[in-house]
Structure 1
């Protein structure tokens, strides 16, 4: 295969390594020098989902979908099982943290209510009956 035929894929890989700003710069330069190139890059970025796809979404997708196959079914099964187990452990840990936060919130609220009740008992209530009648 000649290098002439592979330069578009090499350019794409280079731009992918540089990230979204490189794609945007390439598109703007394409519009400046020859507008159909800029238009073609814009269309490729939109339909190729390069413009709106975040890096974290890519990582999350690859983690949940088990990456690509290694070609060895035993290893792929082991990898899928390990990833599933790690996902379950992460969910259990997040649930634990939620329970821990809820317990701390309840403890702080109970302490607030005790302090409030104690302050209500310590402060003397004003005499609302008024002075005693003179003839009583």
Structure 2
């Protein structure tokens, strides 16, 4: 086998070890290398757009969660205030209004 083929298969072996492909090398075919470089640039741009969209969606979802949490908290506080107005707070024993049998 020639060196180019050995290099290519070496990249596959490295992937099993958790290393990424080495896309910086050349195959010796300029037309293929130009096409590959353009495709990799296109894919990198697509990945950038996807990452940007993901970040925008995460920010949007976080804002929705925050709004929902605030609404739930506000509802809880309103119900709590309403409940405290309906039932008087318990008085401590021994207060001046306590009636005791003698």
TM-score using structure 2 length: 0.57
What's 2:64 paired with? Answer: 107
What's 2:17 paired with? Answer: 55
Structure with greater helix share of residues: 1
What's 1:75 paired with? Answer: 32
Q: Distance in 2 between matches of 1:69 and 1:119?
A: 65
Q: Distance in 1 between matches of 2:52 and 2:40?
A: 18
Gaps of 5+ in 2: 1-12, 90-102
Q: Distance in 1 between matches of 2:59 and 2:51?
A: 12
Q: Describe the superposition over 1:25-60 as per-residue Cα deviations: whole angstroms up to 9, x where unpaired.
A: xxxxxxxxxxxxxxxxxxxxxxxxxxxxx933x315
TM-score using structure 1 length: 0.45
> What's the offset of the Cα at 1:71?
1.5
Q: Distance in 2 between matches of 1:120 and 1:77?
A: 64
Matched residue pairs, number?
72
When the two chains are superposed, the root-mean-square deviation of aligned CA atoms in Å is 2.5
